[in-house]
Chain A
Amino acid sequence: MTRPPNLGAEPAKAVAANALRRSFDGVEAVRDLTLTVPEGALLALLGPSGCGKTTSLRMIAGFERPDGGTLSIFDRLVAGPRQFLPPDQRGVGMVFQDYALFPHMNVRKNVGYGLARRADREALIEEALALTGLTALAERSVHELSGGEQQRVALARALAPQPRLLLLDEPFSNLDLALRARVRAEVRSIVKRSGATAILVTHDQEEALSMADLVAFMWDGRIEQLGTPDEVYLYPSTLHAASFIGDANVLNLEARGGEVRSPFGVHEAPAEASSVAVVLRPEDLQIMPGGIPGTVVRREYYGHDQVLGILLHDGTEVRARVGPHERLTEAGPIAVGLRREPLVFARD
């Protein structure tokens, strides 16, 4: 099932969306979806509920007709002015949040559903079953499967016709937490081995960061940032991205003349902005003798690390993530400093 990697200098565009729009009864779900997904990538479309990510995915799949904009899949225009290719002609695989397995068919028939007219049907079914480790369960009814197994059937069914593009809509939200981490790694490895380009919709930042090659952060119907997981985490381009992706202390402060003063010193602020948000990741704070003095007011000990609630002397409360070895007590004195310059965003 693996395809030879694209050896050209410029990877082909699996998806090219330009200014896609869609509203429901006057409410704009997607305002402007402009996004390019390079072939072979696993991209996570990340954002809070209601940000338009599922609608975006459904437009790519062909279940929703865009109100405007254009969409190409592997350089074929599938939606545009007076142009709309129905979902059955797009050759896109999709895994639904509820899996949408056909309850009246067994595993093999589910997996073979998309291969009705293929001569190599049986071989493709076997290949998909093998890829997802379902060979032994092929004759089972889908009711008899566990949640994780059902999910693999959904994946096998979507991958069986060997689509070049695979869409996953919140595929892990119906699994319990203990299973999730394992299944994520499994799904990533299956998708990578299939060679398909994949778009994963999720509101779980940990899922997006740990699974994807690229993260597209969506907010209020628009893509706010596209980058690798470390790029979007370390260098969020907007306040929304900074506060949604990962834990953050957000200090709302006044800026003047391109500068803002926080308890940790003076930082560069966007010129013109008077009201700014200074964003500090808890792990960017560290215990530092001679640093800013404060009091530990809360302590959550996780084992691999601990999160401290610190009341600074000027009344600001911040959270700091420090190593597990620091022996601290609540109400005890502490001094903290910054590992790196904070991110500063205009608030207007």
Chain B
Amino acid sequence: MIASRFIAARRTVAPPWALVFGLMVAAVCLVPPVYLVVRAGQSMETVSEVLAARSTLELAVRSIALSGLVTAFAIAVALPLGWLVERTDLPGRRTLGVLVALPLAVPSYVGALVFISALGPRGLLQQALEPLGVDRLPSIYGWPGAVVVLGVFTYPYVLLTLRPALQGLDPRIEELSASFGHGRWTTFRRVILPQLRPALLSGGLLVALYTLADFGAVALLRFDSLTRAIFISYQASFDRSRAAVLALVLAAIALTVVVLEVWSRAGRRHDAVRGSGRAAARITLGRWRWPALAFVGLVIALGVAMPIGVLGYWLVRGLAAGEATRGIGAAVTGSLVAAGLAALVTAVAALPVAVLAVRHRGHALSRAVEVASYTGYALPGLIVALALVFVSIRLGPLYQSLWLLVAGYALLFLPQAVAATRVALGQIRPSMEEAARGLGRPAWQVTATVTVPLASRGIAAGAALVFLTTMKELPATLLLSPTGYETLATRVWGASTEAFFTRAALPAIVLVILSTLPLLLLSPQVTRRRWLRRWWRA
């Protein structure tokens, strides 16, 4: 057994096909970051002008502050939730445990739409309260709305990393602490929390990155963030340098967060395997279970019940008015075609990257290809799309074509497909491929006849995940879609910016249902399969 692990770690000769295609994929991935840097270098005047402007600094601070507040909110929600579900005798914890993961299925712009139509001016709540004489509600726009909406729909990222950590806690350490006479609070603060810190950090940084990159929710909630400013200056002005420079600022912030995230994960590897002899005894809540249930209920009400209720309400109203289904056919077709092509292209592009990363880790070029493939993970979708627009305008025929949109999707979601393919490839013993080589087949034939068939499930699962994520994607879709091309996401967006909630309801519901499918796979029994969790993180 030791021998076979040794072989797996060996560095062998990288197949030329994988290197050639891997470098091609890497080259495409590097277009946005390289473009941004080159562009900034060309128009140094604008750069210094924009950077010096007070408004730029303000935007950056607001984006960072929002990101920090949302992260704090998400942790403040996820930590007690996870603890209640995993470590206490909360009634109905199994069902609740599945429900609290569901807000992840609601794209942020759909979440914002739901909140605005429910709690905004002239929203459902106000209409309901009007007879009671309430004619004004606290404003949903700006800070409070952005923090709450993004927090409610992103806390599951923290929960996802936190729950395995809570399950893995060694009960003996807690018992030891109690035997020293420490109370529960001290034990929690000094013994449990330090063990959970890596998981909180890792999940929290994901939330921070998501918030920085988010465009839909902040735009709908009229929160002036970098993404919103970039989008507005891109749409408004003829000189798009300002948009490019702001994109560079956002990219720098996002990269910092990515570096922190990678670094936090690297540190975690050591304590990932923690053998606990038995499951910890669940803590008896006693009379505290009612406030606990109320808390969990509130989170589920905001994150799950409200989206379902509000979208359902608008759907029924829209159906009654005959407005709900108008033009939906084109949007569904548009989404399916774009997402289908994106899934296909991404899965194909991920293969050489994954082959190099799994089989030829030692190779310097493999490393370079792998790093380049993370562009879509590190850079917000808006920035990637912006760069592709600028580059393709100069290249001519690609601009305003469906292929540019597909390329954007592929670039953004390549890391997901690579992660899934990597895991699948990692499960194929190297001797299998060597045997095929030894039987006279060149490397590319071995990939086609042995590697791909054996990894097909993982590759297909990665493609499916890209498909579903693509359906929900908003900013790149807005920027890269050919004029007149409609998808479910653009339809939701278009209707909600004009507050035509009845028109937005049906596509929004379809999107939410589609995103729930992979989440059902993520229910507790399945989350133990690490590769599934990793997709979400990728």
Which A residues are within 8 Å of any B CB, using their own CB? 24, 49, 54, 61-65, 84, 86-94, 96-98, 100, 102-104, 113-114, 116, 157-158, 161, 170
Contact = CB atoms under 8 A, between A and B. Distances in A.
21 contacts: A24-B10, A49-B2, A61-B438, A62-B438, A63-B437, A65-B13, A86-B13, A86-B437, A88-B437, A88-B438, A88-B443, A91-B440, A92-B438, A96-B435, A97-B431, A98-B429, A100-B431, A102-B436, A103-B454, A161-B440, A170-B3
B168 to A, nearest CB: 31
A267 to B, nearest CB: 39
**Interface of A: prevailing SS:** loop
Nearest to B441: A88
Interface in B392-439: 429, 431-432, 434-439
Given A97-B4, A98-B4, A114 B440 contact: yes
B131 interface: no
Contact of B434 (A65, A93, A96): A96
Given A49-B3, A64-B12, A65-B13, A87 B454 contact: no
Contacts of B429: 98, 100
A94 B429 CA distance: 15
B91 interface: no
B41 interface: no
A174 B154 CA distance: 49
Nearest to A49: B3
Nearest to B2: A49
B327 interface: no
A334 B3 CA distance: 45
B456 to A, nearest CB: 9
Nearest to A114: B439
Interface residues of B, number: 26
Contacts of A97: 3-4, 431
B449 to A, nearest CB: 8
B450 A87 contact: no
Given A96-B431, A100-B431, 19 more contacts: A24-B10, A24-B11, A63-B12, A63-B434, A65-B13, A86-B13, A86-B443, A88-B437, A88-B438, A89-B440, A96-B434, A100-B435, A102-B432, A103-B454, A113-B439, A113-B441, A114-B440, A158-B438, A161-B440
What DSSP secondary structure best describes chain B's contact surface?
helix
A93 B438 contact: yes
| Residue among B13, B435, B442 with the highest chain A CB neighbour number at 10 A | B435
Interface string B167-204: 00000000000000000000000000000000000000
A98 B7 CA distance: 12
B441 A116 contact: yes
B422 to A, nearest CB: 20
List of 6 A-B pairs having minimum Cβ-Cβ separation, nearest first: A114-B439, A100-B431, A100-B435, A96-B431, A94-B438, A87-B437
A14 to B, nearest CB: 16
A102 B436 CA distance: 9
Contacts of B432: 100, 102
A24 B440 CA distance: 26
A260 to B, nearest CB: 39
A5 to B, nearest CB: 26
B447 to A, nearest CB: 13
Contact of B439 (A84, A98, A157): A157
A158 B442 CA distance: 16
B435 A88 contact: no
B453 interface: yes
Nearest to B437: A87
Interface string B23-42: 00000000000000000000
A102 B445 CA distance: 14
Nearest to A92: B438
Contacts of A100: 429, 431-432, 434-435
A150 to B, nearest CB: 13
Nearest to A102: B450
A64 B10 contact: yes
Contacts of B441: 88, 113-114, 116
Contacts of B10: 24, 64
Contact of B436 (A62, A65, A93, A113): A113
A320 B143 CA distance: 89
Q: By CB atoms of chain A within 10 A, which of B2, B3, B11, B442 has the most?
A: B3
Contacts of B11: 24
